[in-house]
Amino acid sequence: MNKLITLLNKEVANFGVLYTKLHNFHWLVEGNQFYQLHAKFEELYDEATEHFDALAERILMLEGRPVATLKEFLELATIKEANGGENDMAMVEAVVDDFALIDKELSEGIKLAEAVEDDVTVDLLTGIRSSLQKHLWMLRTVLK
């Protein structure tokens, strides 16, 4: 169970960083696709908040302690902060890369949860993956 809690905490950290990154992109996006991307980044940070909270609460249900400081997020996260200088397409690429990495890590989490017969965590992670994969499909079309 400790391995599963560790993985879930990594994803809490990732969604903590992602939440801020998506706000950065929402505020700073410019270019021909401003209106679409401005709205999309807002949709994505709202959804990231839901995943962030659900993961942290699941850790508590498993009698763990979710990471809850910016310092911890930056230490544990596998995704990187925005640098503030990305153009619109670099922003989309960064989100695609982040979602793909988180999706892969959640797949590993599902295997860990299945190994300890934790169907609730399997369901939670599967739902998040489903959402990420749909966003990946849509965002990748923007990059073509």
What does each of the 144 residues of the chain score in pLDDT, given as a tens digit? 799 999 999 999 999 999 999 999 999 999 999 999 999 999 999 999 999 999 999 999 999 999 999 999 999 999 999 998 999 999 999 999 999 999 999 999 999 999 999 999 999 999 999 999 999 999 999 999
* Number of Cα atoms under 13 Å in the Cβ half of residue 134: 7
**CATH assignment at residue 44:** 1.20.1260.10
> The tokens of 62 are what?
């498993």
Rg (CA), the chain: 15
Calpha distance 102→141 (Å, rounded): 19
> 66: buried, middle or exposed (CB in 10 Å: 19+, 13-18, 0-12)?
buried
- Structural domain of residue 81, as residue ranges? 2-142
Amino acid identity at 94: A
The count of structural domains within the chain is: 1
| pLDDT at residue 1, rounded to an integer | 78
| pLDDT at residue 52, rounded to an integer | 97
In angstroms, how far is the first alpha carbon of the chain from the final one? 41
Q: What are the helix (H) ranges across the chain?
A: 2-28, 34-61, 70-76, 88-115, 119-142
